[in-house]
Amino acid sequence: MSSNGTYTAREFNLSGLKGISDETLEMHFKLYEGYVKETNNLTEKISEFIKDAKVDQEEMPAYSELTRRLGFEYNGMVLHEYYFDNLKSRGGSGDPSQGSDFVKAAESSFGSYEIWKTDFVGIGKMRGVGWAICYQNPANGRLSNHWITLHETGNVAGFVPILVMDVWEHAYLLDYKPAERPKYIEAFFSNIAWKTVEERLKQITGAQSARA
């Protein structure tokens, strides 16, 4: 974010994924830039409404609509950054290694990594437009998986996104048919940057032990 409060779209050094083409990524980066642009536009328009320190009754419908859209665009921007960041250029190595921090967190929260994965993949296959997100509860360190409708409905306040998977059709439509979402999810797993995912986990673990 710049000093005047506007966001600049980030550049992601991401290409050569397994089963997700560079064309898809290029198109997806453009879509992400659209979310950044709209977040800035809406923030600016809303600031026009409030700069006289009141929202007049006749301004209320337009102000309300802009503010509702802000939740959509803002989450669209932020979630795409998490998503691109948790993918590994040239592809990853599949599931995380046994004994890794993520596997340990999945085991203590779900019983096993396989059960965690069954839940996360199951959520990813749900019909509708949205995201599958594995969050960590900062209060107790536990992982939980959630379905997010569009970008903004279902996010748990205060929980930290650990692994974020876009399951909007635009994430895979150039590579797979709409009904082939399971194949895209398989491809997603073969490209996860587990190091990045685990860094997200560690930040919370560190904060917790500092409080203990």
Query: Minimum distance between the CB of residue 17 and Fe ion, rounded to whole angstroms?
Result: 14
- What count of Cα atoms within 13 Å lies in the side-chain half-sphere of residue 197? 27
- H or E stretch at 147: strand 143-149
- H or E stretch at 105: helix 101-110
Please work out the total of residues on this chain that contact Fe ion, with binding judged by CB under 5 A. 2
Residue in the shown chain whose Cβ atom is closest to Fe ion: 166
Query: Minimum distance between the CB of residue 96 and Fe ion, rounded to whole angstroms?
Result: 24
Choose between 66 and 173: whose C-beta lies nearer to Fe ion.
173
The residues, any chain, with a CB within 8 Å of residue 167's CB and separated by 6 or more, are 124, 126, 129, 130, 131, 132, 181, 184, 185
Q: Which two structure tokens, joined as six digits, stand for 26?
A: 């290029």
Query: In whole angstroms, what is the distance from residue 1 CA to residue 65 CA?
Result: 24
> Which of 195, 191, 185, 184 has its CA nearest to residue 162?
195
Choose between 12 and 168: whose C-beta lies nearer to Fe ion.
168
Query: Minimum distance between the CB of residue 87 and Fe ion, rounded to whole angstroms?
Result: 12
Q: Which of residues 115-174 bind Fe ion (CB under 5 A)?
A: 166, 168
94, 189 contact by CB (below 8 A): yes
Query: Minimum distance between the CB of residue 90 and Fe ion, rounded to whole angstroms?
Result: 21
Choose between 164 and 201: whose C-beta lies nearer to Fe ion.
164
For residue 81, state whether it binds Fe ion (rule: CB under 5 A).
no
Choose between 83 and 110: whose C-beta lies nearer to Fe ion.
83
Mapping DSSP to helix (H, G, I), strand (E, B) and coil, where does residue 26 land? helix
Choose between 103 and 148: whose C-beta lies nearer to Fe ion.
148
Query: Minimum distance between the CB of residue 86 and Fe ion, rounded to whole angstroms?
Result: 13
Return residues touching Fe ion (CB under 5 A): 166, 168
